[in-house]
Each structure stands twice: as structure tokens, then as C-alpha cells.
Structure 1
């Protein structure tokens, strides 16, 4: 069967005294990482929601939770009436369920979304969708070392209108071992399952439903920070596995020729101008290897990828912190008939709190996307989002955000520009129940008019947490 595709382009003492639970945890993560290393890497998905949430070694609290750090337990009790009480920083943060040195925070949200474009594509139609999200976050609060495991599962299903089935599963996990006061060993394992976007440049013309794909990722890294210099080395192994696509007239079409592995190494080094400012340089080299040497069109899609960046890490406390970098990204395929995909790369992760109760978050990243069309090597994708969260009252939170995706197609079809804007509100009935609502507008404008689409949606839901 011929496939028809859219023509787009000091470990010493501390380890010996390690608690039994922590030792078991180390063994678990090490075993998980070795499993992934035996498989290797996939292409990163295009949606911002993925790369914003999969920071492989992140030992921070969720944005709506209070930090769980070791502290005194015999503090004075606040008075029940009158002056002298100290309000909680976040009175509606989840309490969690404690088991030894582990804290579990589960949540469940159920809602309805009405949309004018169920698939966010040129062929999308009106629909009313049921959306269910289950989340479980597990973290440790040891004075040394740290570990986390976050699991998020989403299910979107049509109630009326255009038929949509969108499963999504994301698991992030990480383990940090403090070797001494200046050195740390980091391990991580991630897994994601989702359906390929209908607006993807690799979307099939003849497909009724795009394929599901699995992404498995494993990382190991070591970092050291001295009085003046600091450095970090990371190795990453990922794998992408694509399922079959359902055809409009019935039957399926295999996507197995897209399955691939990726292995990369990254080095970062810099110096401390002050405790708050740390300029750095970073280089990365990787190799992508497809299961099939040639794809269905007879092209070799395996190749090398290189990146070099210079940037600045800054930490002025909870008011202003993050990092910014700019550099160059290049993907060179083994097939001489396919041109290189390269260009400027911009990356950012910035948190700013101009006043108490207001938080601003900026995220940006540059990726290389592969292709499946004959004579097309891929595209360069720029992602960015800006979100503002403001507490009107302790139990009422307003949010607003904008995001964009700019795809530089390397097949002479120009650029695709996708813009989104969203406003929302969360009202906490009590510490365990919240009501959510949001409005969103999204549209794509492309140099090829056939790719254009527009979508408006409204969502209302209820969240339960512990």
C-alpha cells in the first residue's frame, strides 16, 4: 500500500548511613534508567504543555503548593481569636498524605469543554467534550538528597459533535543524590503517551485518526559547583514508538518506519559573577537512529544533531529567577538528498513576582521536527508562552496567558504561525474543592492557506485534591 501524506515540510559516609527507604528508592530509579538506556531517544513533541512539564531533574514544588522542607515541629500555636495569628502563605495548598519521608498529593478534575474546533485543525468541527484529569505527585522531604514522581493522566471524549478521543499520560520522575556539599548526581526517567496533533506537518491526508505514540526518556548527570566555577554533564537516551493510523475508509496504516532512538550528551560550564548571576556556555551533540534504515519513500532519516548556546542563570530569590540563552541548532541527516535543518535557537525559563500574589512565568524553547514527506528534511519549531497569575483573594485566582508556535518549514513552503490566548479563574470552595473556568482562542496563519484554522473554546470544571 502506498502511503499518502500531506506535502508539508562525599558520598563516603552519607551513603553508608543511607536510610533503607532511600536505598530502595535509589535502586528503583537506577533500574528504571538502565532500562531506558538500553532503548534510546525520540523526537520531542510540539505542544508546549509537554516541554514545560518534563523538566527531567526538577526538585521543586508544584506552583500551587507550599514547599515541604525540614523545619521545627514545636512552634508556638497560633491564637484562636484576636491578634497575633500568622496566616498561611497559601491556605488552599494541598495537605497531602504522609508516609514516612514521602508526601503524596493526589487530585482529580472533571469538566466540560465546548469548542468550535475539536481537533484544532483546518477540518475540525464543533463539539462538546468531557475532560478528566487525574494527577498524583510524590516527593521526599529528606534533609539530604531528593526524589519526586509526578503522574498525570488526561482523557478527552466527545459528548456531542465531532468525534474526538484524546488519551494522554505523562510520568516524570527524578532522583538527586548529594555526593558532597558541592557535587550532585541526578537520575531521571520520563514516559509520555499521546495522540499526534492534527496540525502536525506529518499529518496523514487519508487518516481518520492520527496515531498514538509513546516517548520514553532516561537521563543521568553530574554537576559540581565551586566557589567561582561550576559545571554539569548530562547524558540522555530517548525512544519514540508510533502506533498505526486509522484510515478514513477503514483499516489502518503502519507508522513503524518512524520509530527511532536518540542519544545525546550535553556539557554546561560557567562562572559566578555573584551569588545571583552565573553566565554559562553549553554544547550538545546527539545521534538519531531510526529502526528502519530507509523510510517508505526510500530516504535515510537518521542523522546527527548539534547545539551550542550562551546564556545567563540568575537568582534574586523568589521575586526573580531563571535563565536565558541564545545559540545555534543544527540537524544533519545521513541522506545527501535532504538538506540540513538549522538556525538560531532561543531558550528561556523565567519566573517573576512583581508583587505578593502575582506571578509571571516565561517559557521558550527551540526544537527540530522531523518529516515523513519525500525530499523534505524537517522544520525548525519555536515555542514560547507567557502566563500571569494573580490572587484577587486567598481563594480566588485569575490567570491570563499567551502562547505561540512558529514553524520554519524547510520545504520552501514558508512559515506557520500559531497564536493562542487564554483567561481563566479558580475559586476555592474549601481546601479540598475548587471550581475552574477558562476561555481560549487559538488560530494558525500559514503561508499555505490550506493549513489555516481558528478555534474558540470555553471550559468549566471541578477539582478535588488532598
Structure 2
């Protein structure tokens, strides 16, 4: 069996605020697996009706940037050799003068933001290129979020939530209201042991750019509930963790045949060979149950071994091993192959970070056009450059493939992104993105081929 590929989620640390989508209409998900909904509607680049509708907005936006540009941010300063943040990614680096202060409430800190976005897409429904269904539209988003976190010396409690309302100028039937609530905690038992847990409830919408999303009808909405609990213990130079996770999907209306529940157990062992390199061992087992499609019920296992890096130039991990998934349906049988999981940051300079990601595993997200398992592989790269202390430039590419071994179908997905993030001050941040998404599907049961462009601008007001 030839392994296949699935697009990588290359979205970096939440910006401008954790949990907020700003004007980026994509969102990632998944604990035991990745949601195939990799990105939301796409926008046009420089053609057709986009010029008339976007250029006045861009001109006003550019003029505002020039007027608001802080004079002290024009001179870039390299971090000194003694700067403790020198070996930190561009996006993770603490910019104290631009860090939102939030509100201190005794033993807790309250942080929040409200994000506003506008996007233009030249293929709202991710329709076949050249067909009448390939239409453009403007999308407006409002996304508030808040997070309350303890600031205790031991233990931790965090609660938060947010929402995202998307409104379309021409196709109001595509409007959607998403939300999430989350709580997490950690109990420190002595100096070497911690017990953690979390719960998350959300209402989400599958984007039209999902390769198996329907082209007609209302957007597919679903509720998702996730519970997790685990324990971590450190033995001298070894760190061991064990986590249990339950994930439940409940689809609305006619899509309820996709309802499923997944429970799993994950173990992880890290052995520190030196302060810079370590050995890694990961093992996972899970069970997936579909309420209305029992032939897709399955049990899976995987074991991977690799290395962790924590040097002045690189940080991350890469692991390779074997996966196997057994399905109740004898016509599907067993899927197995090489498992890959990795994420590596390379600090090319103190102002430039390259991030590489890779993943390969078996999946079986049931959809409106295919209810069969597939092997997926995904890989990508992202570069972030700190042009000024408060201006970050970014570019990314991701590639993926799904191989439906049981039927005649294979999907290839490509996506590219360029953009910039501009921190005006502690309270205000701006964001600009251009995204290109492409999908090609081959075989007797092939999905649709499409190309989509999206240009988006966003404003974040932070607490």
C-alpha cells in the first residue's frame, strides 16, 4: 500500500490573541487526529471584481499604517548575545513593550481581545474551476475571546472562551456562528509530578475548502466535546507522561450519519542524553466508534521513536515508527505503514525562524462523498522574519495527499501563504494575509478539483 498525504496545519501560535482567528478564516482541531477542515473560504489575488471592491479598502488601510507608524519602531535592534530570547522562535519571542498587559485580579490574570476581519475570495464554494459555481464574495468576521489564568507559584487553573461570527456580503446563507469554551488545570504533586486535565466544548463549521465538503446546501455544522486527563513525572534525566483523551463529534441535521466518538491513551518517554539532545519514545492506542456507520468502527495503535533537540540553532523533535488500524468491516481490513511525526524550528538568524512539520498516519473522517479510510501524509515549511521589533513577515507552504486504498481515489492538496503582522502598541495589532489553496482529486470516485485565492486584513484590539 502506498502511503498518502494530508495537508499540514501550518498555523503558528495564535496571533494577535490566543483562540482568536482575526481575519484568518482557518482553524485547526484535533486531539487524536486532525480535522480535515484545513482552511476556510479563500480570497482573490488581483483580478476581476476584486480590484473595484478591495483597492479602496487597501488604500485606506495603507494610509492608516503610515499615519499610525510609531517612530521608535523604525530602527531594528538585534538581540544581544546575552539575550535569553536569542534561541526562541520569532513568534514566541517576548516583546515586552508590545505585550498586552491584561487585568490583574488577585491571584488571576485576565486577557482578552476582539478581532475584526475582512476577506475577499474568488471561489467561495471551492467549486470546480471554470464552472458557474465559482463565485466571489466578501467575508466579514468578528471574533471576541477572553482567558482567565491563575498566577500562582504552584498549580494552575485556566478558563476561557471565544466566538467567531462570519457574515457574507452576497451569500448570507453561508453565514456562521462558531464558539468555544475551555477549562484546564494542573495540580503539582511535589517537585517532580503533575496531574493535569482539560475540557473543551465548541460549535464549529466545516469550511467549503474541505475536500469532502458538499458544494450545495447549508454549511456543515457540528458540536465537538473533548475531555483529557493525564499525569507527568520526572526521574532525574527522564520524563514520562500518560494521557487519556475522549473526543466526540455531533453533526447537525442531515449530516448526523457522521457522528462519532473516539477514546484514546497516549504515553510518552523522554530521556535526556545531554542538555541539547534527547531520545523520544511515543506509543498511542485509540478506539473510534461511528454511531450510524458501524462499518467504520476501528482500533488503532502506533509506536514511534526519535530524538528531541534543544540547541541554540534548532528546537523540536522528529519520530518515526509504525502504525496499524484494524476495521470492523472485513472488506476494509487492516491499514498499516510507516508513522511519522515531527516539528522542528531552525533559528537561521536571531531575526529569522524556519519551521518544518511532517506527519503520516491512518484516518477515516467520514464525509458526504467518501466513507472509507485513507492513509494521509502531510508536510510543510514556514518562515517568519522580524523585519522590525513590531513587524513580522511570514510565508508558508504545505502539501498533502490522501490515499483511499479501498477505493479508486487519491487527493493532492497544496496551499501557500504570505503575510505580515504589525504590532502598533500593546492594545492594537494589524494582520494581512494572502492565501492560495488548490486540490486535485483522481480516480473513479474522485472529489472535485478547485483553486481558491483569498486576501484578508484584520484588526485586533487587545486587553
| Alignment TM class, shorter chain as reference | 0.7 to 0.9
CA distance in 1, matches of 2:389, 2:93: 14
Deviations 1:420-462 (A, max 9, x none): 1111122333321223222111111222575211011111222
C-alpha change, 1:232 and 1:177, in structure 2 (3 Å) is same
1:379-398 alignment, distance < 5 Å: 379-398=374-393
CA distance in structure 2 between the partners assigned to 1:62 and 1:121 by the alignment: 37
Corresponding residue for residue 458 of structure 1: 455
> Contact (CA 8 Å) 2:211, 2:448: kept in 1 or not?
no
After TM superposition, give the deviation of residue 242 of structure 1 in Å.
0.8
**Taking structure 1 as reference, are residues 224 and 110 closer, same or farther at Cα in structure 2, changes over 3 Å only?**
same
Cα shift at 1:243: 0.6
Name the TM-score, length of structure 1 as normaliser: 0.73
Q: Is the 8 A contact 2:173 2:218 kept in 1?
A: no
Determine if contact 2:378/2:401 at 8 Å carries over to the other structure: yes
Q: Is the 8 A contact 1:48 1:383 kept in 2?
A: no
2:278 aligns with 278
Q: How does 1:132-143 map to 2 (within 5 A)?
A: 132-143=142-153
Q: How does 1:137-176 map to 2 (within 5 A)?
A: 137-160=147-170, 163-176=173-186
Correspondent of 1:352 among 346, 356, 363 = 346
> Which residue does the alignment assign to 1:336?
330
CA distance in 1, matches of 2:262, 2:305: 24
Check the 8 A contact 1:42/1:261 in 2, yes or no. Answer: no
SS in 1 for 2:97: coil
Superposition map of 1:414-433 within 5 A: 414-433=409-428
State the SS of the aligned residue for 1:209. Answer: coil
Q: Tell me the residue number matched to 1:234.
A: 243
- Report which structure shows greater RCO (CA 8 Å, sep ≥6): 2
1:94 deviation in Å? 1.0
* Distance (whole Å) between structure 1 residues aligned to residue 125 and residue 175 of structure 2: 10
Residues 417 and 63 of structure 1: CA distance in aligned 2, closer, same or farther (over 3 Å) = same
The equivalent residue for 2:225 is: 216
Spell out, residue by residue over 1:123-176, the C-alpha distance to the aligned partner (whole angstroms, 9 max, x if none).
Answer: 542111112222323333322223334534222221136852243334444322
Q: Which segment drifts farther, 186-195 or 351-360?
A: 351-360
SS state at 2:123 partner: coil
Task: Give the aligned length.
Answer: 379
Cα deviation per residue 1:83-110 (whole Å; 9 max; x = unaligned)? xxxxxx4421211111122222211121
Aligned with 1:451: secondary structure?
coil
Which sections of structure 1, spanning at least 5 residues, go unmatched? 1-40, 51-60, 68-88, 245-253
Q: Distance in 1 between matches of 2:100 and 2:197?
A: 27
Unaligned stretches of 5+ residues in structure 2? 1-30, 41-87
TM-score, scaled to structure 2: 0.73
Q: Report the CA distance shift for 1:279/1:173 in structure 2 as closer, same or farther (over 3 A).
A: farther
Deviation digits for residues 245-304 of structure 1 (CA, Å, limit 9, x no counterpart):
xxxxxxxxx333322221111222242211232212221111122334xx3xxx522221
Structure-2 separation of matches of 1:62 and 1:376: 40
Q: CA RMSD in A?
A: 3.0
Instruction: Report how far residue 218 of structure 1 moved.
Output: 1.0
